[in-house]
Amino acid sequence: MKLLVTGGAGFIGSAVVRQALADGHEVVNLDALTYAACLENLALVAGHPGYAFVKADIRDQAVLETVFAEHAPDAVMHLAAESHVDRSIDGPGAFIETNVLGTYALLQAARGYWQDKGRPESFRFHHISTDEVFGSLGPEGKFTETTPYDPRSPYSASKASSDHLVRAWHETYGLPVLLTNCSNNYGPYHFPEKLIPVVILNALAGQPIPVYGAGENVRDWLYVEDHAAALLLVMQKGRVGRSYNIGGENEARNIDLVRMICALLDEMKPADRPYSSLISFVADRPGHDLRYAIDPTRIREELGWRPSVTLEEGLRRTVRWYLDNEAWWRPLLERDGVGRRLGA
């Protein structure tokens, strides 16, 4: 298939692009190259004959229309977004513009293209969203596809809005959409403002490892390459109009996750004292959701997908990757806002 992937220069989008090309798809990567983008994530595939890159902003509907006309994709996989909760607290405007208005412009451009082509049933608009739209869980229970939406941060509210738009374009105009809501991703090429790379890189620099609050927040960690495989499966086999929750079956409290990473670093790159001695508890994020957990029954039973790695194994691969790829992450530490406490 020919896929139009938005946000393909980001963390998850680039994993999707690499895997889609390896699976034999053609890919048009549309990305505005914001502070979070790294075309280096695609260095291994940049010369692939099935790969094309278009620098464009999803808020620009006229440009999107020309991209659809020129490239004639069979499906859209929409990952472009502002994605960092802490940045959404400091500057919600960019999140409304890209995540809400950008998704609206993309839906309109996709609908026009699909209608002009005679509304092919095989077309897919796959919207990639987050479990954060469901709000916060107590110690028990998990999010299913029918859990009511209850977003609590500017980021999650903007993603929830975009999910509603995508469903509305299906119900109202018949656009063949799919939605996925996934848990926290981690793995190679993770931008160094997110928790796991921050822990690894601060530890390696001998800097305090910041843990918000008491580190009690629980996340369900999903290895990014497992996620990319799940997305490509849903895009090809998912039922139109349906949403699928994608989780890693790997719940961990932040403090336990940080200690696991420190223990892996103690083993792989021993220092003169345990890395866990650098852990430093800092003021919590305002409105910090306590727990997210995904019930993955639907994707497992309908599509036969399960994560392939445990958290222990995924973290081991991730720590190894950061140790081996300093040339990738070192320049990113200079980008705006990286290394500073945001959203406090």
Ligand X SMILES: NC(=O)c1ccc[n+]([C@@H]2O[C@H](COP(=O)([O-])OP(=O)(O)OC[C@H]3O[C@@H](n4cnc5c(N)ncnc54)[C@H](O)[C@@H]3O)[C@@H](O)[C@H]2O)c1
Residues that bind ligand X (CB under 6 A): 6-7, 9-13, 31-34, 36-37, 57-59, 79-83, 98, 102, 128, 130, 159, 182, 184-185, 191
Q: Which amino acid is at 187?
A: G
Q: Which is closer to ligand X, CB of 10 or CB of 307?
A: 10
Q: Which is closer to ligand X, CB of 235 or CB of 278?
A: 235
Q: Which is closer to ligand X, CB of 106 or CB of 209?
A: 106
Q: What is the smallest separation between the CB atom of 236 and ligand X, expressed in angstroms?
A: 19
Concerning whether 155 is annotated as a catalytic residue, the answer is: yes
C-alpha span between 228 and 295 (Å, rounded) = 18
Q: Which is closer to ligand X, CB of 102 or CB of 307?
A: 102
**Backbone φ, ψ for residue 162 (5° rounding):** -65, -35
Strand partners, 291: 137, 218
C-alpha span between 297 and 306 (Å, rounded) = 10
Please tell me which residue in 104, 155, 189, 275 is annotated as part of the active site: 155
Contact call for residues 128 and 182 (beta carbons, < 8 A): yes
Q: Which is closer to ligand X, CB of 30 or CB of 264?
A: 30
Q: What is the smallest separation between the CB atom of 108 and ligand X, expressed in angstroms?
A: 15
Q: What is the smallest separation between the CB atom of 105 and ligand X, expressed in angstroms?
A: 9
Q: What is the smallest separation between the CB atom of 121 and ligand X, expressed in angstroms?
A: 26
Spatial CA neighbour of 197 closest among 258, 130, 127, 134: 258
C-alpha span between 218 and 76 (Å, rounded) = 32
Q: What is the smallest separation between the CB atom of 7 and ligand X, expressed in angstroms?
A: 3
Contact call for residues 296 and 245 (beta carbons, < 8 A): yes
Q: Which amino acid is at 215?
A: G
Q: Is the dihedral of CA 106, 110, 116, 119 positive or negative?
A: negative
Q: What is the smallest separation between the CB atom of 271 and ligand X, expressed in angstroms?
A: 28
Query: In the bound complex, which residue of the shown chain has the CB atom lying closest to ligand X?
Result: 10
C-alpha span between 341 and 207 (Å, rounded) = 14
C-alpha span between 184 and 260 (Å, rounded) = 17
C-alpha span between 296 and 307 (Å, rounded) = 10
Q: Which is closer to ligand X, CB of 25 or CB of 127?
A: 127
CB neighbourhood size of 198 (10 A):
20
Concerning whether 132 is annotated as a catalytic residue, the answer is: yes
C-alpha span between 164 and 149 (Å, rounded) = 10
C-alpha span between 184 and 257 (Å, rounded) = 12
Tokens of 86: 């802490």
- The stretches of 28-153 forming alpha helices (DSSP H) are 61-71, 85-90, 92-95, 103-116
Q: Which is closer to ligand X, CB of 108 or CB of 276?
A: 108
Please tell me which residue in 82, 132, 220, 225 is annotated as part of the active site: 132
Please tell me which residue in 26, 57, 131, 163 is annotated as part of the active site: 131
Concerning whether 312 is annotated as a catalytic residue, the answer is: no
Please give the positions annotated as active site.
Answer: 131-132, 155
